[in-house]
């Protein structure tokens, strides 16, 4: 096992003085509060990033507002699309540099960084670029009676909401950041992004590439920090919309605060406790491979990942045996080692949180495999399989956001809707079966924003994504995002 070599440009970037990206300028942080960026695979500090002060936050929002009414408003829709496509080209051209940077900050395996943070980011950007020329209103035929020969016409326009504040999490900071950038820019909005304090670096580099792609200064700004930067953005009177991805408690605060600030629009994507149900005819190898691939990818730190699995009682043992057999053999190690499957958790608070769930599982549930931290520097834990001690087991209800899948046997398929819906969340769910009739009958009964059959977690730019219940408000992707980034203006004409 050996690590890939870091590119010289990655080393050079890490050595820079990091802070923010405001009005087209990279701004270092020479004074004030700073945050150390820790490589979760080693526990070592790899860079220092300055926190934005109130004046810098204000400058970023004002730059975004100027660009909204100025340079970005002056671009034609096809030009916006062309710029986003060039941005995608540059992300790919700098793919290895971006992937390495993100792996160093997040602990994500280099394969995942290449595939998702780089590859998927480019794919999503190109999809959104195509929308730039297709955001239109409708024409209506009013029925007003004509008293003196006059006539009436009406149409609607889709107008960009304005400056968007995007609060980006640490699990897929580049890809989720790009989702927010692409949706805002293609609709004609401008943006201030606030990355997670754990993973700010790659987005800063991305902002430079955006300028190189032709995004005018001020259209995309980035402010960093920890503690109250996000909150100041939400409160800012010139922010027209907030898009937040993260935890339920913080999402609730963001939503309430935005409403109180200015009736500011909000979209929230808040994670889940996603259920998977194996129906009696399920294919063992296919289901186990699919659930392992999606349940433990990036150590389970994926909002859409399956965390609880319902299995026919008679087949629980064979499922657990196959599952744990695969996991016990999976190589764990440095995410910069291309032969490794499992890297570290992304940061210390997440590591502590997962250790807390292990403790709970040892005390209250049955651990089939895993359940321990690795005795090495960094935040490594074993991929873990747990059997719940009943439907009320907290591991079936609390989002772990870690490499823990909790199983519960069931006796009758009719129990599944109640079991699967027994959660405050409703982001994703899956059913594993080739029984079409059963699948079609279950689909309307499951409370989830996305329901998968014989798969889980896959996100495609053409398919709307978002949660119901405590998993959030609003939809990304497809055409659904347009509603959230535009105002609908009605125009009526008498002639
Ligand atoms: P949080 O949900 O607490 O989000 C932290 C981010 O929110 C920071 O950027 C912070 O910025 C900002 N923030 C906090 N308060 C406000 C506010 N009032 N207004 C605006 N922004 C605010 O995430 P954590 O990183 O603490 O992760 C905690 C848990 O969240 C994880 O364990 C996991 O369960 C879940 N999670 C879910 C994700 C998902 O994809 N849905 C992704 C990542 C985590 P500032 O410090 O400047 O206030």
User: In order along the chain (495 residues), what is the average pLDDT of each group of 10 residues?
Assistant: 93 96 89 90 96 95 98 98 98 98 98 98 98 98 94 98 98 98 98 98 98 98 96 98 97 98 97 97 97 98 98 98 94 96 97 98 97 97 98 97 98 98 98 97 98 98 98 97 97 97
Q: Does residue 202 contact residue 175 with C-beta atoms inside 8 Å? A: no
Beta strands in 316-376 (DSSP E): 366-369
DSSP assignment of 43-96 equals TEEEEEEEPP-HHHHHHHHHHHHHHHHTTTTTS-HHHHHHHHHHHHHHHHHTHH
As a whole number of angstroms, the distance between CA 318 and CA 284 comes to 8
Q: Which CATH number fits domain 8-270+471-492: 1.10.760.10, 3.40.605.10, 3.40.630.30, 1.10.3210.10?
A: 3.40.605.10
- Who contacts 181 (Cβ-Cβ below 8 Å, separation ≥6)? 125, 166, 191, 193, 206, 210, 220
**What's the 250 CA to ligand 1 centre distance in angstroms?**
6
SS3 395: helix
Q: What is the pLDDT of residue 108?
A: 97
- Cβ atoms within 10 Å of 424's Cβ, excluding its own: 13
Q: What is the pLDDT of residue 30?
A: 57
Indicate the length of the chain as a whole number: 495
Is 303 an annotated catalytic residue?
A: yes
State how beta strands 25-27 and 20-22 pair: antiparallel
Phi-psi bin for 374: left (phi > 0), alpha (psi -120 to 50), beta? Answer: beta
Quote the pTM value: 0.97
Report the run of H or E that residue 404 belongs to, with start and end: strand 404-410
Q: Does residue 75 contact residue 83 with C-beta atoms inside 8 Å? A: yes
Residues within 6 Å of ligand 1 by CB: 167, 169-171, 194, 196-197, 225-231, 234, 245-247, 250, 253-254, 257, 269-271, 303, 350, 353, 399, 401
As a whole number of angstroms, the distance between CA 369 and CA 266 comes to 41
- Who contacts 358 (Cβ-Cβ below 8 Å, separation ≥6)? 367, 371, 372, 373, 381, 384, 404
- Side-chain half-sphere of 183: how many Cα atoms within 13 Å? 31
The DSSP output letter for 115 is I
Q: Kindly report the CA angle at 188 between 187 and 192, in degrees rounded to 5? A: 105
- Cβ atoms within 10 Å of 472's Cβ, excluding its own: 28
Phi-psi bin for 107: left (phi > 0), alpha (psi -120 to 50), beta? Answer: left
Q: What is the pLDDT of residue 29?
A: 73
Ligand 1, atom nearest to 225 Cα: 47
| Fold of the 274-461 domain | Aldehyde Dehydrogenase; Chain A, domain 2 (3.40.309)
Q: Where in the chain are all domains bearing CATH 3.40.605.10?
A: 8-270+471-492
**What's the 246 CA to ligand 1 centre distance in angstroms?**
5
As a whole number of angstroms, the distance between CA 81 and CA 130 comes to 6
Distances (CA, A) of 73 to 77, 162, 163, 225, 237: 9, 10, 12, 29, 20
- Side-chain half-sphere of 254: how many Cα atoms within 13 Å? 28
Q: What is the pLDDT of residue 249?
A: 96
Which residues make beta-bridge pairs with 191? 164, 220
Which of 102, 117, 197, 269 is labelled catalytic? 269
Ligand 1, atom nearest to 271 Cα: 41
Could you tell me which of 431, 405, 432 has the C-alpha nearest to residue 420?
Answer: 431
Is 3 an annotated catalytic residue?
A: no
Distances (CA, A) of 232 to 25, 213, 263: 21, 29, 15
Atom 35 of ligand 1, residue of closest alpha carbon? 247
Q: What is the pLDDT of residue 28?
A: 86
Distances (CA, A) of 351 to 209, 240, 287, 401: 32, 35, 28, 10
């Amino acid at each position: 096992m050996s690590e890939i070599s870091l590119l010289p440009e990655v080393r050079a970037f890490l050595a820079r003085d990091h802070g923010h990206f405001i009005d087209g300028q990279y701004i270092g942080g020479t004074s004030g509060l700073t945050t150390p960026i820790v490589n979760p695979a080693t526990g070592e500090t790899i860079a220092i990033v300055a926190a934005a002060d109130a004046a810098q936050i204000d400058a970023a929002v004002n730059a975004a507002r100027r660009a909204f009414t100025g340079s970005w408003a002056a671009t034609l829709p096809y030009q916006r699309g062309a710029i986003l496509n060039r941005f995608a080209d540059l992300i790919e051209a700098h793919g290895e540099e971006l992937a390495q940077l993100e792996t160093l900050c997040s602990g994500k395996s280099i394969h995942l960084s290449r595939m998702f943070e780089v590859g998927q980011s480019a794919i999503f950007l190109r999809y959104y670029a195509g929308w730039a020329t297709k955001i239109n209103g409708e024409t209506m035929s009013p029925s007003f009676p004509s008293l003196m020969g006059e006539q009436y016409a009406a149409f609607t326009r889709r107008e960009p909401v304005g400056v968007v504040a995007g609060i980006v999490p640490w699990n897929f900071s580049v890809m989720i950041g790009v989702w927010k950038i692409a949706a805002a820019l293609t609709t004609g909005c401008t943006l201030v992004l606030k990355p997670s304090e754990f993973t700010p670096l790659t987005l800063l580099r991305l902002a430079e590439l955006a300028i190189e792609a032709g995004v005018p200064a001020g259209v995309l700004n980035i402010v960093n920090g920890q503690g109250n930067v996000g909150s100041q953005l939400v409160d800012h009177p010139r922010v027209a919309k907030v898009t937040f991805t993260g935890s339920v408690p913080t999402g609730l605060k963001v939503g309430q605060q935005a409403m109180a600030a200015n009736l500011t629009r909000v979209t929230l994507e808040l994670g889940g406790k996603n259920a998977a149900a194996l129906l009696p005819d399920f294919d063992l190898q296919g289901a186990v491979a699919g659930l392992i691939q999606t349940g433990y990818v990036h150590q389970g730190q994926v909002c859409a990942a399956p965390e609880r699995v319902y299995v026919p009682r008679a087949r629980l043992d064979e499922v657990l045996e196959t599952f744990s057999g695969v996991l016990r053999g999976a190589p764990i190690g440095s995410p910069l080692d291309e032969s490794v499957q499992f890297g570290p958790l992304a940061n210390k608070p997440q590591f502590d949180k997962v250790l807390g769930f292990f403790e709970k599982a040892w005390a209250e549930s049955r651990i089939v495999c895993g359940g321990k931290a690795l005795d090495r520097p960094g935040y490594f834990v074993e991929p873990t399989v747990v059997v719940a001690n009943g439907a009320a087991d907290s591991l079936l209800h609390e989002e772990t956001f870690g490499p823990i899948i909790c199983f519960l046997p069931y006796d009758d398929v009719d129990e599944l809707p109640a079991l699967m819906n027994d959660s405050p969340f409703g982001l994703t769910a899956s059913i594993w079966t080739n029984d079409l009739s059963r699948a079609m009958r279950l689909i309307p009964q499951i409370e989830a924003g996305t329901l998968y059959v014989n798969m889980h977690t896959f996100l495609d730019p053409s398919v709307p994504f978002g949660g119901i219940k405590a998993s959030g408000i609003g939809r990304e992707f497809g055409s659904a995002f347009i509603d959230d980034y535009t105002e609908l203006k009605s125009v009526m004409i008498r002639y």
